[in-house]
Amino acid sequence: MRKVDIFDTTLRDGEQSAGINLNTAEKIEIARQLERFGATIIESGFPAASPGDFDAVQRIANTVKNSIVTGLARTVEHDIERAWEALRGAEQPHIHIFLATSPIHMQYKLMKTPEQVVEIAVESVKYARKYFPLVQWSAEDASRSDPEFLAHIIRKVIAAGATTINLPDTVGYATPSEYGAMFKYMKDNVVGIEKVKLSAHCHNDLGMATANTLAAIENGADQVEGTINGIGERAGNVALEEIAVALHIRKPIYGVETGVNLKEIKRTSQLVSQLTGSMIQSNKAIVGKNAFAHEAGIHQDGMLKNPLTYEIITPALIGDVATELVLGKHSGRHAFKDRAIKMGFELSDEKINKAFLEFKKLADSKKEIVEDDLYVLLTDQQINEKNTPVYELESIQVQYSTDNVPTATVSVQNPNGDKISKSAPGAGAVEAIFNTLELVVEGKVHILDYRVTSIGKGRDALGEAVINLSYNGEAVTGRDVAQDVLEASAKAYLNAVNRKLLKSEKIEEVATK
């Protein structure tokens, strides 16, 4: 059976989504999970973009062993050299170079003639092959490029040493028939095309990313690129979990294997959603919370008689199996650690102990502990790079009634270890908290987006707050959980500020090396 490689770009294209800002520890954790998921290639970032991006790519390349790790580069020597410095320690060093080939991009963005574009592409591939055994070249905006010119430049870059050719639908413009036909045209008209992998990269601007990707596979694509949960710029990328499950369920039609561990889909989706703060819509295919819900009476009747009447995918297939968490406030440390290991967490004894203490606190106040609760506690410990936050919330109090202006009072420990208490009013309880915290952190804060959602069910469910704000002019995302949503909101606010300060500290550290 033909093998189609899975190229995951959650950490590069996915992170370009508005409001997503991952730190290095979070990127490493996602990369580890993508390795468990079975991604053939993990695009870990853009090494030349910033010292922080370089550090993350380098650390992922030195951590991941069972997936190929790649980094993005423009067609300039500096980018290629920087990528090599970051990726030279990888098991199989791989670079991804891109250059636009559509008339509109060449004329208005690159301001180059087609002949100049060909020359730049060829020279960049030749230069990359001096360092990398695996060189992927992407024709940006391929779906709006002239087929004859596209075939011509592909012949040239293959001769120059490219090992993979990527044909992106960069702006999500193509239809399935058009996109599939482009792959067939290249298969039929490019000499040497059999020597390289052909890759598909689809965006979802018109809602056709999954259909276009499957059309590419039908017409000879050897690799598909996308993200977990379909995150990405604008309307996002193709969702890899949709492709993996579609190819599995309809294997007789497509006749391909991907090597994806389908049982890791739910956990991978959940991790990416939690760390990016990007919610999964309820009716999202494969991983939405309603993906296996049946409310209509006729559907319920059919399900009771035979699940196959309305359920073509089982929750168990993607690792979404309901399990009872037989842990409570009387459970011991050993049972807690055993459960963490069974859930796939690899934590030091110190971090297990910290997670266990948080679990005990939660068990004292929550009637029923569900696996989602434990997942949040363990994930927070697994990605915690620094033991002590820059700002740490000690207490919060809000005076509120419908007749009076809400006033918040917060106590926070600052970076110097001093306790600061401030109060401020607001139009509502949350605004009062945010106004007060702005006095504490001594910086200009502008709230860009804010939301609270429940983890699990019931009136005692944990509340997760996600806040996107700008702190002294730089956008950053924070998140935290608590049973009190106001407490969760305050912690998320401080988490965002801490991430900005710790990121600046880390970049300074990397830049001085």
CA distances from 243 to 17, 219, 482 (A): 20, 15, 35
In angstroms, the CA 267 to CA 274 distance is: 10
In angstroms, the CA 136 to CA 467 distance is: 36
**Is residue 37 a contact partner of residue 103, using CB atoms and an 8 Å limit?**
no
CA nearest to 224, candidates 135, 134, 164: 164
Q: Could you write out the DSSP letters of every residue in 121-169?
A: HHHHHHHHHTT-SEEEEEEETGGGS-HHHHHHHHHHHHHHT-SEEEEEE
Number of domains in the chain: 3
DSSP 280: P
In the three-class reduction of DSSP (H, G, I as helix; E, B as strand; rest coil), residue 451 is classed as strand
- Which residues, in sequence order, are bridge partners of residue 464? 453, 481
Please report whether residue 69 resides in a domain. Answer: yes
CA distances from 385 to 1, 62, 84, 436 (A): 43, 17, 26, 27
Please report whether residue 136 resides in a domain. Answer: yes
CA 87 to chain centre: 20
Please report whether residue 286 resides in a domain. Answer: no
- Structural domain containing residue 143: 2-276
Residue ending a domain, among 227, 259, 276, is 276
349 lies in the same domain as 370: yes
Residue ending a domain, among 230, 249, 276, is 276
255 lies in the same domain as 369: no
Residue ending a domain, among 276, 301, 321, is 276
In the three-class reduction of DSSP (H, G, I as helix; E, B as strand; rest coil), residue 12 is classed as coil
340 lies in the same domain as 425: no
| Percent of the chain as helix, strand, coil, to the nearest 5 | 45, 20, 35
CA 166 to chain centre: 21
In angstroms, the CA 244 to CA 241 distance is: 5
345 lies in the same domain as 429: no
Please report whether residue 321 resides in a domain. Answer: no
Other CB atoms within 10 Å distance of the CB of residue 473: 8
Q: Amino acid letter at 150? A: L
Stated pTM of the model: 0.88
CA distances from 393 to 163, 320, 446, 463, 494 (A): 52, 35, 20, 17, 8
153 lies in the same domain as 210: yes
52 lies in the same domain as 107: yes
pLDDT per residue, tens digit, the chain (513 aa), is 899 999 999 999 999 988 888 989 999 999 999 999 999 999 999 999 999 899 999 999 999 999 999 999 999 999 999 999 999 999 999 999 999 999 999 999 999 999 999 999 999 999 999 999 999 999 999 999 999 999 999 999 999 999 999 999 999 999 999 999 999 999 999 999 999 999 999 999 999 999 999 999 999 999 999 999 999 999 999 999 999 999 999 999 999 999 999 999 999 999 999 999 898 998 999 999 888 875 555 555 555 566 667 678 888 999 986 555 557 777 788 888 888 887 778 788 888 888 888 888 888 877 677 777 888 888 888 777 554 568 999 999 999 877 789 999 999 999 888 999 999 999 999 999 999 999 999 889 999 999 999 887 778 888 999 999 999 998 899 999 998 999 999 999 999 999 888 877 654 554 455
In the three-class reduction of DSSP (H, G, I as helix; E, B as strand; rest coil), residue 4 is classed as coil
In angstroms, the CA 417 to CA 394 distance is: 12
Q: For strands 134-140 and 164-169, give the pairing.
A: parallel
User: Any idea what the Cα angle at residue 437 is, between residues 433 and 440, rounded to 5°?
Assistant: 150
In angstroms, the CA 271 to CA 264 distance is: 11
100 lies in the same domain as 146: yes
* Dihedral class, residue 442 (left if φ above 0, else alpha if ψ from -120 to 50, else beta): left
CA distances from 82 to 47, 48, 71, 79, 324 (A): 6, 6, 10, 5, 48
**Is residue 465 a contact partner of residue 481, using CB atoms and an 8 Å limit?**
yes
In angstroms, the CA 117 to CA 85 distance is: 26
Instruction: Note the pLDDT of residue 505.
Output: 64
Please report whether residue 168 resides in a domain. Answer: yes
Residue 449 sits in a domain of what CATH number? 3.30.160.270
367 lies in the same domain as 487: no
CA 366 to chain centre: 30
**Is residue 164 a contact partner of residue 136, using CB atoms and an 8 Å limit?**
yes
228 lies in the same domain as 169: yes
**Is residue 254 a contact partner of residue 247, using CB atoms and an 8 Å limit?**
yes
Q: Could you write out the DSSP letters of every residue in 94-128?
A: EEEEEEE-SHHIIIIII---HHHHHHHHHHHHHHH
- Which residues, in sequence order, are bridge partners of residue 398? 408
110 lies in the same domain as 212: yes
Please report whether residue 22 resides in a domain. Answer: yes
Residue 77 sits in a domain of what CATH number? 3.20.20.70
349 lies in the same domain as 377: yes
Please report whether residue 244 resides in a domain. Answer: yes
66 lies in the same domain as 179: yes
